[in-house]
Every structure is written in C-alpha cells, then in structure tokens.
C-alpha cells in the first residue's frame, strides 16, 4: 500500500520554494506548478511576477500546514 504525501514536507516546500511551484510538483498539481514556475522564472526579468508567485506559494504552504489543503493531486489525503 502506497503511503500518502507528507503534509509537513508540502507545507515547508510551499513556504520556502513556493515561488517556483515546488510544493505543487510534489503534490502532483503539475499544471498549477508549471504556472508558478513560469511566473517565478519571469520574475528574473519582471520582478512583480516573482513576488506574486512567492506570495501565492507562501499562502498555499500555510493552507497545507493548517489542513485547508489536505489532498494531493490524485485525491489522496496528506499524512
């Protein structure tokens, strides 16, 4: 039986590397992760997109840690 993804790992990834969508890649939300990654990379040229993506990732990290986001991209509960 496969074990679910770690809520703590996903939350910390969101807070620390959320601007690049790392937590969404980890959880299997690949489309959202690619959007965040593109915004993060564009931030090298247009700073505001990195700020937006980072705030987005930080908020999602907090939501994951508080349990508001409690499933991965496949619908499996986070552990």
1 DSSP 8-state letter: -
What residues contact 22, with CB distance under 8 A and at least 6 apart? Answer: 13, 14, 33, 57
The verdict on pTM exceeding 0.85 is yes
* pLDDT 10s digits, 24-46: 999 999 999 999 999 999 988 88
What residues contact 58, with CB distance under 8 A and at least 6 apart? Answer: 14, 15, 18
* pLDDT 10s digits, 49-79: 889 999 999 999 999 999 999 999 999 999 9
Neighbours of 7 (CB within 10 A): 19
């Amino acid at each position: 039986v496969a074990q679910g993804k770690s809520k703590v790992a996903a939350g910390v990834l969101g807070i620390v590397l959320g601007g690049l969508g790392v937590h969404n890649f980890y959880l299997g939300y690949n489309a959202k992760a690619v959007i965040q990654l593109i915004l993060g990379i564009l931030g090298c040229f247009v700073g505001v997109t990195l700020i937006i993506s980072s705030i987005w990732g930080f908020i999602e990290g907090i939501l994951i840690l508080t349990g508001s986001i409690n499933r991965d991209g496949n619908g499996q509960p986070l552990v």
